[in-house]
Amino acid sequence: MRAVLMFVCLFSCVSFAVAETLTPEQVAQKAASVISTAKGLTATFTVRSGGAETKGSVRSSGTRFVVSMPQVSTWYNGKSLYTYNPRTSETTVTTPTAQELAESNPLLYVRGGGSGFTYRFSTVKRTGKYVVDLIPRDNKSGIKKLTFTINSSNFNIEKIDVLSSSGTTSVTVTSFKTGAALPQKEFEYPASKYPKVEIIDLR
């Protein structure tokens, strides 16, 4: 009887472990869901590329977002993308592609996978993290590999490495918080704040 109970206990533990095993694609999808389903999200990040480092912040709700960085600020209201360049004192307005949105908001790389990528766990292992590589099925975008480092307990994205034909860009998320919904006006371009900025409408 004791042996039977031990067998049942062991079988149950093994079955639970199997049920909890996630594929690389499922891990990435869970991380994407944290971002896409959040009523309100605020995060700060550090971007390293070509030996340079810059810091930025992002606020988002659903598909809408605003990203602030010293070199450029962007607002996406769900339809149009406004990109302000303080150096040229110009704001460009476009109807963006998915690739352009990801380039404007690095967190969207997590949601930009889908059937266009092959998913695999990285050979790099980190305690308490999932490290997932996404390899594009074609190289039309110039991206060779995306690597996501994801917290295994809450599926918050912690780092994004983008290997492209022009080099490697690393985005390290330094703070990540979800909460109450952000008002729509957060994602509208604040024209009154930049009265002398030239608007270039490319829509």
Going by pLDDT thresholds of 50, 70 and 90, the confidence category of residue 2 is very low
Give the separation between CA 156 and CA 102, rounded to whole angstroms: 17
pTM: 0.80
Going by pLDDT thresholds of 50, 70 and 90, the confidence category of residue 17 is very low
For the segment 183-195, the average pLDDT, to the nearest whole number, is 94
| Predicted confidence (pLDDT) at residue 8 exceeds the cutoff of 80 | no
Cβ(76)–Cβ(186) below 8 Å: no
| Neighbour count for residue 57 (Cβ, 10 Å) | 15
Give the separation between CA 196 and CA 65, rounded to whole angstroms: 24
In the prediction, which pLDDT does 37 show? Answer: 86
* Paired strand residues for 149: 131, 159
Segment 27-60, tens digit of pLDDT: 999 998 898 888 899 999 999 998 899 999 999 9
Give the separation between CA 182 and CA 162, rounded to whole angstroms: 29
In the prediction, which pLDDT does 27 show? Answer: 94
Give the separation between CA 185 and CA 194, rounded to whole angstroms: 16
Domains assigned to the chain: 23-201 (2.50.20.10)
32's enclosing H/E stretch is helix 24-36
Segment 93-150, tens digit of pLDDT: 999 988 888 888 888 888 765 667 899 999 989 999 999 999 988 777 678 999 999 9
The two beta strands, 90-94 and 198-201, are: parallel
Tell me the two tokens of residue 195: 């009265």
| Look-up of token digits 């092959």 | 118
Q: How far is CA 32 from CA 5, 157, 186, in A?
A: 41, 8, 22
Give the CA angle between residues 98, 153, 181 to the nearest 5°. 50
Cβ(138)–Cβ(113) below 8 Å: no
Q: How far is CA 179 from CA 40, 59, 75, 78, 182, in A?
A: 5, 11, 20, 20, 9
